[in-house]
Structure 1
Amino acid sequence: MLTSTGTLFIVATPIGNLQDMTPRALEVLADVGLIAAEDTRHSGRLLQHFGISTPTTACHDHNERDKSARLVERMLAGEDMALISDAGTPLISDPGYHLVRAAREAGVRVCPVPGPCALVAALSAAGLPSDRFAFEGFLPAKASGRRQRLQALASEPRTWMLYEAPHRLLECLEDMLDILGPDRQVVLARELTKTFETIRGAPVAELVEWVRADSDQQRGECVLVVEAMPPRDENEGLDPEAERILDLLLEELPVKQAAALAAKITGEKKNRLYQIALGKTAS
């Protein structure tokens, strides 16, 4: 006799306010045979609050790869399971990717149960363009790695977002000030849906001073939403590094080839570089 496979439900849970728990999420968590949780002690308090007695098992960064196969076997035998993180939507800078992939590859149905997500909540309230955006998760903890990533993001043409630990928030903002300049708009969304929720947008120089002056803003869960790089005025001069590269190439190559290669290296528009190069060679 064939046994139908179970389903893996990806269940979003509140990021703070428990009233954001959806009726569907409660029903699924009560009905499944097992809940895979990032931290069973943390999630245990949530489940107890809602009177849910479903057994839980730990599924986190350190054991997910090894545990996924055993959990998938149980679902293939017909058991329904739910995956939850400590807060919000699983897999968004949280564990779960390996389990979901293993389940899908084995033919297990994976069913999302949508709900709270800190990055979406922050973006919706930031007042920055949201038709296209990039999410960077957490930046590297070490200053050198963090600054390197910020350098790469400085020219991002979309609104971009990241999570930051409270004890690194001020350092991160100071690096943004140094790399992005004082006028880039940044929104700090802190402790979303909780008692001390704060959403503050300002030029990064102003935001740095505000956070530095109020230690309370360096606590809790933080999302940073950052304005895209403003479109460049075509009448402005080249970025100094792009101009240096173009000058070096013009010493060795014809104008057309130098402009094309400089465009590949710098990301500048080829036609613009070609016109500037013509001006340089004509002078």
Structure 2
Amino acid sequence: MVIRRYNPIAMLSSSVFTPFPRQQFYRCPFPIFTQSLQPFPSLLSSTIPRHFTLSFYSNTAQTSTADTPDELHHQLSNSKQSPLKPGLYLVGTPIGNLEDITLRALRVLKSADVILSEDTRHSGKLLHYYNIKTPLLSYHKFNESQRAQVVLRKLQDGEIVALISDAGTPGISDPGMELAKLCADKNIPVIPIPGPSAVVTALSASGLPTNEFSFVGFLPKHNSSRKERLILSANESATQIFFIPPHKLSQFLEEAAAIFGASRQCVMAREMTKVHEEFWRGTIDKAKEAFLAHQPKGEITFLIEGKSTSTDEGPSESQLENELRELIAGGHSLSMAVKLVASGKLMKRKAIYSLALRKFGGQLESEDD
């Protein structure tokens, strides 16, 4: 296959243009974006060859004209970039679509002495797709402590170790944080290789405020701990982001409706970057109606808008009562439930305590006994 690079200036000014000789690069003195080609639809459809790539050139940047993983593998093999230094590389990998990976990530994975992965069979598909032969070593939450010392010895011997998760960025609700901390304590370089993140991907397309957000991740399994965490989230003004397993969505929506309030806006992002990608938007109450009847499948990132900062808006008495009831049912004493509900709210704790006395006075008397 012969790959040619074309003069973008000539292409914009004429429907017939002459390619530069092979191996010759054109340095454009100003940025050119693909949007600049929009006024020329006929030009786009009739004269741009399939292998044409329009990009910038700098002293260090390299471009890829590969159409297949094999061609990309060949280009990476012949890369003239400087060798990687030894250390732990935290490599972001696709959250669904295998093409959502950077050239730098591929070069690190190809150059590493070993790749640590949660599920070697799952990660093997990505490596096979890009024809990367680097050995895989399992590294997950069940063997993290045992593997850490083995990996540490490899790093101290000067090896290049890449850490990947099943999807997204290592250490974010995935194994990696402890190993990164251990390396930092031992003065071993920890090098992040940016890549996809379900958190930012969902937030960017959600339509909810993005200037401030709080990533909660997976909620605790224990009832009282989980509800305590939800109450804290409900009182924050930042957009709240959760990872919810599909089989726990119904439980989550019931608790969220009681604690956040049924009218709070939310977004369910499901199977992002995959074939069946879905973004559902509405109130928590509407989400209950939509998803309690049928359970969606796939990876779910759930976002809930932050609490309004308006001084004239406060939680209703029924919402406060629901929060108190949830905490008491989870095993908290009435006084502790009042303290938790009052945290982050504009209302004084005395007012909430008065409500607790009216609604749950019997429990308070039994506590005093």
Q: TM-score, normalised by structure 2?
A: 0.62
Partner in structure 2 of residue 195 of structure 1: 275
For residues 150-175 of structure 1, give each alpha carbon's deviation from its aligned partner in whole angstroms, at most 9, with x where no partner exists: 12221112111010001111221121
Structure 2 counterpart of 1:78, from 148, 158, 164: 158
**Matching of residues 1-283 of structure 1 within 5 Å:** 6-215=86-295, 218-234=296-312, 266-267=343-344
Q: Is the 8 A contact 1:5 1:108 kept in 2?
A: no
Tell me how far apart the structure 1 counterparts of residues 173 and 145 of structure 2 sit (CA, whole Å): 16
Against the structure 1 CA distance between its residues 183 and 53, is the aligned structure 2 distance closer, same or farther, given a 3 Å change threshold? same
CA shift in 2, pair 1:235/1:79, >3 Å: closer
* 1:165 to 1:236, Cα distance in 2 relative to 1, 3 A: closer
TM-score under structure 1 length normalisation: 0.80
Q: In 2, Cα distance between the equivalents of 1:135 and 1:237? A: 23
The question of whether the paired residues in 2 share the 8 Å contact of 1:30 and 1:53 is answered with yes
Q: Which amino acid aligns with 2:149?
A: A
In 1, the alpha carbon distance for the partners of 2:217 and 2:313 equals 35
In the alignment, the residues of structure 1 paired with residue 311 and residue 187 of structure 2 have an alpha-carbon distance, to the nearest angstrom, of 52
Q: Secondary structure at the match of 2:301?
A: strand
Structure 2: distance between partners of 1:239 and 1:93? 35
Per residue, is there more strand in 1 or in 2?
Answer: 1
Change (3 A) 1:123 1:213: same
Higher relative contact order, chain-length normalized (CA < 8 Å, sep 6+): 1
**Matched residue pairs, number?**
246
The unaligned stretches of length 5 or more in structure 2 are: 1-83, 322-338, 352-369
Unaligned stretches of 5+ residues in structure 1? 243-261, 277-283
Is the Cα–Cα contact under 8 Å of residues 87 and 155 in structure 2 kept in the other structure? yes
Change (3 A) 1:24 1:266: closer
Deviation at 1:228, TM superposition (A): 0.5
Secondary structure class of the residue paired with 2:89: strand
CA–CA separation in structure 2 for the residues paired with 1:189 and 1:267: 28
Runs (4 or more) in structure 1 with deviation over 4 Å come to 235-242, 265-269
> Which one-letter code corresponds to 2:204 in the other structure?
S
1:58 and 1:87 map into 2 onto residues whose CA distance is 15
Letter in 1 for 2:212: R
Structure 2 CA distance, aligned partners of 1:223 and 1:72?
33
Q: Deviations over 1:65-86 (max 9, x none)?
A: 2221221221121111100001
C-alpha displacement of 1:232: 4.1
Do the aligned residues in 1 keep the contact of 2:105 with 2:193 (CA within 8 Å)?
yes
Question: What are the Cα deviations for residues 208-250 of structure 1, in whole angstroms up to 9, with x where unaligned?
Answer: 11123444xx2100001111111243486997979xxxxxxxx
Structure with higher Rg: it is 2
